[in-house]
Amino acid sequence: SETMKLLLSALALLSGSAAASTCESLPKKPHFTKEEETARWMAHVMDWGVLSTISTRNDTLAAPFGNPYSFVDGGCGADGGTGTIYFYASGMDQSMIDTETDPRVSFALSEASLNGDDALEQKACVVGPSGDPENPPCARAVFNGSLRKLDNDSDEFKTAEAAFFERHASMQDWPTDHSWFIGAIDLSDIWLIDIYGGAKTLDIDSYYAADLKY
């Protein structure tokens, strides 16, 4: 019955077994030998990571400052992913204050952030006898570059904003007096580990050229 369906949905949410991603259709994880494709997959499938900046706080001046941040690389669907990391950010946030002095940023993603998603969770990422977020087959990617503010009148801004409101729907209802803007990382380096044998530094052109398989 419809009542039973609703009850089962509620139980799934409470138990943490509901999908971690807001997209109904997502690309398949590439083989571990396809490093650039794996990094693109992570940038499209995941919803949040840790953004690090060069701190301007008096107590931590010039030290790394990490801050969890939601992001998108585009909307849902085969044509949505761009590979570009976008943030919907407030000018009042400490990370954004830091970038006014030094725009260099580092953004870290872990496949472990997908734990709890029946379709995406990897055993290698689950803390236990055979898994851990530091286990090399649990993919990690770090994107380095400079944060660039988008022009509010640009097509890039409109496309990114639509992607945020699709994939992070609550953002539409956030207070309007917090100096919101959309920033993008202009990439200079991508570091990836997704298997034993050490990390790789990826070619950025190959990263952007990679195709995601659905």
- pTM to 2 decimals? 0.89
Sign, CA torsion 66/70/74/76: positive
The three-class DSSP label of residue 59 is: helix
pLDDT in tens, 189-202: 999 999 999 999 99
Cα angle 76, 66, 112; round to 5: 50
Read off the pLDDT band of 166 (50, 70, 90).
very high
pLDDT in tens, 64-93: 999 999 999 999 988 899 999 999 999 999
pLDDT in tens, 99-139: 999 999 999 999 999 999 888 999 999 999 999 999 999 99
Percent of the chain at pLDDT exceeding 70: 90
Burial class (CB in 10 A: 0-12, 13-18, 19+), 177: exposed
Instruction: Yes or no: say if 68 and 79 are a contact pair by the CB < 8 Å rule.
Output: no
